[in-house]
Every structure is written in C-alpha cells, then in structure tokens.
Amino acid sequence: MSAPLLEAEGLVRRYAMRRGLFGRGVEIAAVDGVSLRIEAGRTLGLVGESGCGKSTTGRLVLGLERPDAGSVRFEGRPMPPPGTAEWRRLRARMQMVFQDPLGALDRRLPIGEQIREPLDIHGLLDPAARQARVFDLLHAVGLREDHAARYPHELSGGQRQRAVLARALATGPSLLVADEPISALDVSIQAQVMNLLADIQARFGIAMLFISHDLRAVRQLSHRIAVMYLGRIVEEGEPDAVLHDPAHPYARALVSAIPHPGRAVRRILLPGDPPNPADRPPGCAFHPRCPAAVARCRAESPALKPRADGRLVACHVAQGEAEAPIRQAA
Ligand code: SF4
C-alpha cells in the first residue's frame, strides 16, 4: 500500500474548563485518540453530532492547534512546528474551507485581492502572473472575472463560498479540509456547492477531509466515512458498507435518520443527549444511550479494531466479543 498523503496517529486535544463560577477546574478531551489516513486524491468524510470533536480534528490535522498527544504526517513527513518556514511551506499545500464564508472573508477587501493574497504571502508566481491566476481560479469555481472587483457583501452566499474555495485553491494544495462547507448556505445552493467540490476534486486531484453532521452530504463526496462520537472514531469504512449496513449502534441510529423519499425506514431514536465530555461515562461512552449495550460495555472501553469485512469498529458487540444485549432496539 502506498504511503498516505495524510496520516494522523492518536490525536488528543484537551481543554481546561471550570464547573460554575467557583467550581473546580476539569479537563475535557474534545479529541481523544483519533487516528486517520487520507490517500492522495481521496476524500474521507468525518461525520457526527455537533460537539463530537470533528472540527477540532480538522484544526489539529492542519496544525492550527497543537495536539496534547499524537502526531500528524503530511506528504510522508512529520508536520513541523507551527510558525516555522517549513510549516508555512507545507501549509500552502493544505488549505481549509470554513462553514461561514462571510466570516472567512475580509469585508474590506475586494474578492480578487483576497484570492491573490495566498500567492503574495507564499511568494508564488511573479506579480504579473498572479492576476492571471486569480482569473483562472474565478473561472474554476464558476465566478466571472468582474467578481474580482466586488466586495464580499456584494456576493450571494453561494458566490462567497465559491470565492473562499478559489482562495483555498490558489496555492495548489494537495489537501482541503472542508468544515461544514454547505451548512450555512440556502438549501437551493447547497447542491451547487457540493457539485463544485466534486468537480474540483476530480479536476485537480485534491484529497479532502470533508467534515459534516449531514450523512447525505458526506455520502456524496466520500471514498471512506468515519463516524465520531464524543471525541473518538467509532466506525470507519467504505460508504456503501457504513451507510447500508452500519455496524456500530451509533452509526445505525445516524443512518436511520436519513430520509428516504417513498420508502418507510424505521428511525432509531436514541435516549438522552450526548454526554458532557467532562463527565465521560466509564466503559463505552455510548453505553447509556446504546440499545445494544451489554454488561461489559459499562466497564470496558472498546478499541477501534478491523473486522473481517475491512471496516474499523469500536464496539464489543459488533466485534462479536460480547454476550447478548441487555435490551434490544425499540
Ligand atoms: Fe453499544 Fe456496547 Fe457497542 Fe458501546 S460497546 S456501542 S455500548 S454495544
């Protein structure tokens, strides 16, 4: 197997927080031992509920935050310390697309200048060629050359996200981390931006970490899907396997919530809310909500392990390592 473009191993990111005004400080692990790999030109979809740690994982991968433990290798080399010349050189090869395009753009600068900015910062191309590159990028994302002179507030939401994409592509990255890139857009625009992302990936051969709470969006773009719960990956595999026959009970509940027009699908309703990361349940963190929990789940945290079908699953029952469930799914 060839070396992956990106390889993250055992990433951990903890934050200190205080319970109440005078309460004692506690540490929460937003990301708790995440490992992932992305091959060149492929997309890994990272899915889970809000607050499960997927955006933090994206920032760790890019070096925008330092992990408390674990490592990231990109293009076969360890990520250098942030702020160094080598880090800046590698960062030009890995770019991020944020959820809120208006927040990601500078309201005081014309779009064309913002797309050219990464070329200026990294000293790529000569100044005359940079303007031609800006126009090429505008065309690549479905905007016109006259959009270069406009300010962010003069564009629609969809056009702003296209401009953000053009800026992310300026340095010729080999990896895009797209964090909920369509969730701030009107539903009518979401499909256009998804098609554009697919088109860009096919044309430029860019790998992508596509982060979303929306399994339907993840399915459209991903070559593999990883499901996160409370800071950990609980299932990872090919989209067909994860979406048609999810192995982890949490993945089953997520998949059951996907609407299928004209087809009745029994939705699995999980009891309660995701637990507070500061009060992580012992054993499997999902056990208080899990319809398939067994006695072992309360005491022992399941490791993410490969199954015979090639999928990675963190579940005693799905691994065939546990006795009959305490209670069956409703
Ligand atoms: Fe449910 Fe147990 Fe599997 Fe956790 S390990 S998902 S509690 S069955």
The model's pLDDT over 181-208, given as tens digits with 9 standing for 90+, comes to 998 888 888 999 999 999 999 999 999 9
Residue nearest to atom 6 of ligand 1 (CA): 315
In angstroms, the Cα distances linking 2 to 75, 225, 267, 269, 313 are 11, 20, 40, 41, 23
Per-residue pLDDT at 43: 96
Atom 3 of ligand 1: nearest residue by CA position: 315
Which atom of ligand 1 has the smallest separation from the CA of 248? 6
Phi–psi pair at 267, nearest 5 degrees: -85, 135
Segment 257-262 long-range contacts (CB within 8 Å, at least 24 positions apart): 257/215, 258/215, 258/216
Instruction: Give distance in angstroms: CA of 300 to centre of ligand 1.
Output: 10
CA distance 268 to 169: 40
The closest residue, in CA terms, to atom 8 on ligand 1 is: 293
In angstroms, what is the span from residue 324 Cα to ligand 1's centroid? 11
* 238: its two tokens: 């090919």
pLDDT of residue 48: 93
According to the model, what pLDDT value does residue 150 have? 97
Mutual angle of helices 111-122 and 127-140, in 10-degree steps? 130
Residue 231, Ramachandran bin (φ over 0: left; ψ between -120 and 50: alpha; else beta)? left
Please list the ranges in the chain whose pLDDT falls under 50.
326-330
pLDDT at 212: 94
Ligand 1 centroid from CA 49, angstroms: 17
The closest-lying atom of ligand 1 relative to the alpha carbon of residue 302 is 5
Q: What is the pLDDT of residue 2?
A: 66
pLDDT of residue 184: 84
Q: How far apart are CA 109 and CA 151, in angstroms?
A: 6
pLDDT at 161: 93
- What are the pocket residues of ligand 1 if the criterion is a CB atom closer than 6 Å to any ligand atom? 248-249, 284, 286-287, 290, 292-294, 297, 302, 315-317
